[in-house]
A and B are shown apart, each in its own frame.
Chain A
Amino acid sequence: MQQPHNRFFFNVDWVTILIYMALCAIGFVNIFSVQYDPDKSEAFNFGAEYGKQLIFMISALILGLSILLLDSKFFSVFAPIVYGVTIILLIAVLVIGRNVGGNQAWIPIGSFRLQPSEFAKFGTALLLARYISSFNVKLNTLKPILICAAIIVLPMVLIMLQPDAGSMLVFLSFMFPLYREGLPGNLLIIFWGAVFLFILNLFVSPTLLILSILIIGGLFAYNGRKKVQKIINVGIITFVAIGYLFVAKYIFENVLKPHQRTRIELILGLTSDNRGAGYNVIQSKIAIGAGQLTGRGYLEGTQTKFGYVPAQSTDFIFSTIGEEWGFVGCFVVIGLYIFLLLRILNMAERQRSVFSRVYGYSIACILFFHVFINIGMTIGIMPVIGIPLPFISYGGSSLWSFTILLFIFLKLDSNRMGFI
């Protein structure tokens, strides 16, 4: 049931586009506020960040609308090529990229800088969707799982070489689309259990931790005492967990870089450092806290305007929202995101093609990962790993990449009754 070409705009989900534009507008308004100086009443400045952001927004919208004009099949067909190109860019950036702040993440093109790791997200999403939608892939068997893992891990490794831990961690969000498509839940539990143990390992003394693991293991073994196999399984898991503790400790102390260790320790409250890595978070929390219920009012934020919060317009833009618009503003922004993401999930479920569904889940999870980590780090419950707030943070690469991610899905959705 191919859609007639002239009716194609009717099938696009305009509500999503409206939310998208609303979030972009919120971003622009707040970036303007960061730079606004009441003493200098100068004309609109395209050289300033807000001016550039306006250009990015307009170009992103044009980019998005032109994606809507492409054929749906294009994405499925060209997925491996797009993936290949992003991988090449990720390698290229290691060679010709510019080093900014310790990360070799940018390729300079004219006056703009391209960040390949942003584009690797939808490349990976497309290829993953393409692979899972291919015939007879069952995600509860080993081989497909390994192939999916390879698709995801390859860009992660390349990004880690830059090294950009934040962007690398974003790829963990692909776990959830895989879960939706049949990845055994136990794997997820084991993975997040490992992360949990890793964190606990930093807090609690090893003796206590080993004892508690043994006790819990013992309880499970007692519970399943009638089946020998179960007892054996529990025993194996218990000892693997204990062994893991030592490996994790070793990784933390010898593999991680000092600044990464510091950040992990900071977020877990093991150390406090007012001027170093903790400074951003403290200042950001102060700014947000200053907003109280209704905020200080637009352009009235003192913390955010006077340069107390570093990376104000990019990673910490949420602190401006928090200070100037208060809890109400934060609630609206988070509400918009959740509305958008749940809508994407629902839209994904109504797709007839597996490709579209996997892709929909992928972008929803990527966006959510960004939103949760970014806002979480501005309020001090997540480590500062430097990833942007989708659609709102200043920056061309991230805005374009999120736009492309979203609009490809909108295109797929507009064609949901068709076959890809």
Chain B
Amino acid sequence: MDQLFNRKYIIQGLFILLALILLGRLFYIQIASDKYFLDANNNALRKKFIYPARGVITDRNGQVLAQNQPTYDLMVIPNEVKPFDTLSLCNIIGITMEDFRKKFNKAVVYSRYQPSIFQKLLSVQTYATLQERMANYKGFDVQKRTIRYYPDSIGGQLLGYIREANQREIEKHHGYYKPGDYIGKSGIEKQYEVELRGTKGVKNMLYNAHNIAQGSYADGKFDSSAVAGDQLITTIDVKIQKLGEQLLANKVGSIVAIEPATGEILAFVSSPAYDPNLMVGRETGNNYMKIFSNPYRPFFIRPLKGRYSPGSAFKPLSALIALQEGIIDEFSTFNCPGYYQVGKTRFRCEHIDGNIALRKGIARSCNTYFWSIFEKEMLKNGRKNQHKAYDEWQEKVRKFGIGDTLGIDFPGESSYKLFTAADYTNRYSKYWNYGTILSVAIGQGEISTTPLQMANIMAIIANRGYYIKPHLVKGIGDTKYIHPKYKEKHSAGVDARHYESVIDGMQDAVNSSIGTAKESQIPNLLMCGKTGTVQNNHGKNHSVFIGFAPRNNPKIAIAVIVENGGYGGAYAAPMASFITEKYLTDSLKGRRINGATIEQYKAANLLPVLKDKLPKQKLKIDTNKIDTTKKTVPLKSTTANNQLNKVAIAPKNNATAA
């Protein structure tokens, strides 16, 4: 048996070996690896979030633009429901028995133990009625939520909207959001999401395998309470924002007004607009689709993304650069025979002014004058060095904020390219000269700006040489914090002394008998401005006006673009005039401009006719066509003159103008 006795050790050894395998595995699971420990917390420890109130958004004077409104969701835990008078509940919340069964089954499918939403967004009245009888409905409960409410129904694109966060946003914010949480999707709601949302409170709860809460974890040691979102004071002035939206009703266009001294944006109008209250509540999804499929694209934020050639509105800037370089002074005159000649080609000017100097050149928007300046500018280093001269010139244009982003506190700002000499060489080969790109001199062709940039140029001129980055928020929270970059002055590179003569011309444009916007003159107020009529390949010209007021110590700089509005003096200048008057005097005198009252301007319908099938259109740059802003055309009929807009324009190209 001796030999067999040794087998004892084999069996003992087997026992010990297998026991060591168990211990080794336990060592791995319990000590070496964190995975299971973390999984355990995910399993039983559930964070219950307490949602803070979203910050209120007000205008510059404290008037509320966006606030919170309580709403109530009826929740149900199917497992706790006892038989009850279902009909009475149906009547209170206004659904049929059929709906009731469907909703209840849906809740059961979701979970028997966990609460789910039975009916969303009950009104306060329904809630009150329901609350009295809640004891009869076991298993049902009402949960309070807040949704956005916009008392004035203005500023849809400006304020933006909030909706449930999508997967990409959830990932981007490193775990702050869960599916179902709301997040600012556009506009100020998006830009200031972090400040507005506040901080979620956390309650650490322990849950069992059926997802029923078993009490708080570690007696609430790791819990935190919710912190409400910061109040946001915007720079917007409700009264002119509202007036702007009304004026642009049934038109495509944009109005931007800036307080020059601070860079604060007073009005930020994009038309067509939409009522922000449509993006709240039960019908959000349907409304979103309706707005989204509107061919005039209400979601398109024109002040920032609309791309327009400045047209004649560019001329003051052109003059300023020439003054700074000493190429001209305010007394330099050029002869305008009614055309401008390069080589054998003649370019038409709308008027024959003879010898004309700066002040009159601006007031009458004389093309010949500005082409002559441009010619001098390009030829300053001799004919051979035109390309270099152009590059120097476009660098100076850039200083006014063209061809770059302005750094506004609003999502989606993008820069539009300003051509360099190399770009033109690519396009025309190296044999181009100033005559090739003459349209640039008067703000057409390759120069494109946004309404915001146009308003900012006016702010520069109003400030006599500098600007502060335009921004929409004046103060965040109790400390009224504002990013320091919105206090820095940026120089446009032209000395202050050169501005007065340009401003003289702009003053005349509005306040003299020869001016292009003389109808829009405001009684007892000196508004300086410049009209523009932007060639539009797709239809009637766009009406543009930029200006500021009053002349001394300006309070408002404004840019108005009315697509298909015709001459600058026809629509844009009167609108700027009304808004400026409203802002500076807080009243409207009831005067007529071009023979029309403000109400008639509001009622005018300039929406372009859209054909069903739109041909693909390429953006064509036509250097020969130039704007003519000689005179304003009195409005014969202030109602819609849609018949005039026979040529359809693609909605996508609405905002782009050649």
Q: CB within 8 Å of B: which residues of A?
A: 38-39, 176, 179-182, 283, 285-293, 302-303, 305-308, 322-323, 326-327, 330-331, 334, 337-338, 341-342, 345, 349, 361, 364-365, 368, 372, 375-376, 379-381
Q: A180-B11, A287-B40, A306-B214 are in contact. Are A372 and B22 (CB under 8 A)?
A: yes
Instruction: Pick the 3 closest A-B CB pairs, nearest first.
Output: A289-B36, A290-B40, A306-B208
With A349-B5, A379-B25 given, is the CB distance from A289 to B37 under 8 Å?
A: yes
In the complex, the answer to whether A293 meets B31 with C-beta atoms within 8 Å is yes
Contact present for A307 and B210 (CB under 8 Å): yes
Complex CA–CA separation, A376 to B4 (angstroms) = 30
Query: In the complex, which residues of chain A have a beta carbon less than 8 angstroms from the beta carbon of B208?
Result: 305-308
Question: Which of B13-21, B124-132, B320-328, B596-604 is found at the contact surface with chain A?
Answer: B13-21
Chain B residues with Cβ below 8 Å from A376 are 22, 25
**In the bound complex, CA of A305 to CA of B33 (Å):** 23
Give, as a whole number of angstroms, the nearest-CB distance from B107 to chain A.
21
Closest A residue to B16 by beta carbon equals A338
**Most A CB atoms within 10 A — which of B8, B30, B206?**
B30
Binary interface profile of B, 202-227, with partner A (CB < 8 Å = 1, else 0)?
A: 00001111100011000000000000
Q: Which residue of B lies closest to A176 (CB)?
A: B11
User: Contact flags (1/0) for B17-56 with A, using CB distance below 8 Å?
Assistant: 0110111011101110101110111011100000000000
CB distance from B557 to the nearest CB of A (A): 63
Given contacts A306-B207, A308-B209, A379-B26, contact A286 B31 (CB under 8 A): no
Query: Residues of A contacting B40 with CB < 8 Å?
Result: 286-287, 289-290, 302-303, 323
Given contacts A176-B11, A180-B11, contact A289 B22 (CB under 8 A): no
B29 proximity list for chain A (CB < 8 A): 285, 288-289, 322, 379
B12 within 8 A of A: yes
0/1 per residue, B528-552, Cβ < 8 Å to A?
0000000000000000000000000
Which residues in A have their C-beta under 8 angstroms from that of B22? Answer: 334, 372, 375-376, 379, 381
CB distance from B48 to the nearest CB of A (A): 16
Query: Residue of B at shortest CB range from A181?
Result: B4
A288 to chain B, nearest CB (A): 6
* Count of chain A to chain B residue pairs whose CB atoms are closer than 8 Å in the complex: 118
Cβ-defined contact, B16 with A306, below 8 A? no
- Of B7, B12, B19, B26, which one neighbours A327 at CB under 8 angstroms? B26
In the bound complex, how far is the Cα of B25 from the Cα of A376, in angstroms?
Answer: 9
Residues of B close to A327: CB separation below 8 A: 26-27, 30-31
Whether A331 pairs with B23 at a CB distance below 8 angstroms is yes
B interface secondary structure, majority: helix
The answer to whether A291 and B16 have CB atoms under 8 Å apart is no
Q: What are 21 A-B residue pairs whose CB atoms fall within 8 Å in the complex?
A: A180-B7, A283-B43, A287-B40, A289-B29, A289-B37, A289-B39, A290-B39, A302-B43, A305-B208, A306-B214, A308-B43, A308-B208, A323-B40, A327-B27, A334-B19, A341-B15, A342-B15, A365-B11, A375-B22, A376-B22, A380-B25
A392 CB, min distance to chain B CBs, angstroms: 15
Instruction: Knowing A179-B11, A349-B5, A379-B29, say if A307 contacts B36 (CB, 8 Å).
Output: no
Chain B, Cβ-Cβ closest to A375: B22
Q: Nearest Cβ distance between residue B162 and chain A, in whole angstroms?
A: 35
Q: Which A residues lie within 8 Å of B44 (CB)? A: 302-303, 306, 308
Interface pair A381/B45, CB less than 8 Å apart: no
Contact between chains at A289 and B30 (CB < 8 Å): yes
Is B11 touching A288 in the complex (CB atoms < 8 A)?
no
**Bound CA span A330–B20, Å:** 12
A349 lies within 8 A of B8 (CB): yes
- Residues of chain B contacted by A381 (CB below 8 angstroms): 21-22, 25
Q: Determine the distance from Cα of A285 to Cα of B29 in the docked complex, in whole angstroms.
A: 7
CA distance A136 to B25 in the complex (A): 45
A302-B45, A306-B44, A307-B209 known; A291 and B30 CB under 8 Å?
yes
Find out whether the CB atom of B19 lies under 8 angstroms from the CB atom of A322.
no
A292: chain B residues within 8 A (beta carbon): 30-31, 37
Chain B positions within 8 Å of A180 at CB level: 4, 7-8, 11
Closest to B22 in A: A375
| Chain A residue nearest to B10 in the complex (CB) | A179
The smallest C-beta distance from B245 to any residue of chain A, in angstroms, reads: 54
Tell me which residues across on chain B come within 8 A of A303, comparing CB atoms: 40, 43-44
- Closest B residue to A327 by CB, please name it: B30
Residues B4 and A285 in contact, CB atoms below 8 Å apart: no
Tell which of A179, A306, A349, A368 has the most Cβ of chain B within 10 Å.
A306
Question: Which residue on B lies nearest to A342, using beta carbons?
Answer: B12
Cβ-defined contact, B19 with A288, below 8 A: no
**A326 to B206 alpha-carbon distance, docked (Å):** 20
On chain A, the residues within 8 Å of B27 by CB distance are 327
In the bound assembly, the distance between CA atoms of A285 and B36 in angstroms comes to 7
Write the nearest CB–CB distance from B33 to chain A, whole angstroms.
7
- CB of B39 within 8 A of CB of A288, answer no
Q: Is the CB of B26 within 8 A of A288?
A: yes
- Closest partner residue, chain A, to B211 (CB atom): A306
B206 touches A345 (CB 8 A): no
Bound CA span A327–B28, Å:
10
Q: Are A306 and B4 in contact (CB under 8 A)?
A: no
Q: Which of B12, B30, B43 contacts A326 (CB 8 A)?
A: B30
Query: How near does chain A come to B564, taking the closest CB pair, in angstroms?
Result: 61
CB pair A293 B11 closer than 8 Å: no
Cα–Cα, bound, A117→B519 (Å): 107
A330 to B23, Cβ gap below 8 A? yes
Known: A289-B29, A306-B214. 12 other contacts (CB 8 A): A176-B11, A285-B29, A293-B31, A302-B43, A302-B45, A306-B207, A307-B210, A308-B208, A322-B30, A331-B26, A334-B22, A364-B11
User: What's the Cα separation between A283 and B33 when bound, in Å?
Assistant: 16
Residues of chain A contacted by B19 (CB below 8 angstroms): 334, 337-338, 372
Which B-chain residue is minimally distant from A369 (CB atoms)? B18
What are the residues of chain B within 8 A of A361 when measuring CB–CB? 11
Question: What separation, in Å, do the CA atoms of A176 and B208 have in the docked complex?
Answer: 43
- The reply to whether B215 and A39 contact each other, CB–CB distance below 8 Å, is yes
- Shortest A375–chain B CB gap in Å is 5
> Whole-angstrom distance between the alpha carbons of A179 and B12 in the complex?
13
A365 to B10, CA, bound (A): 13
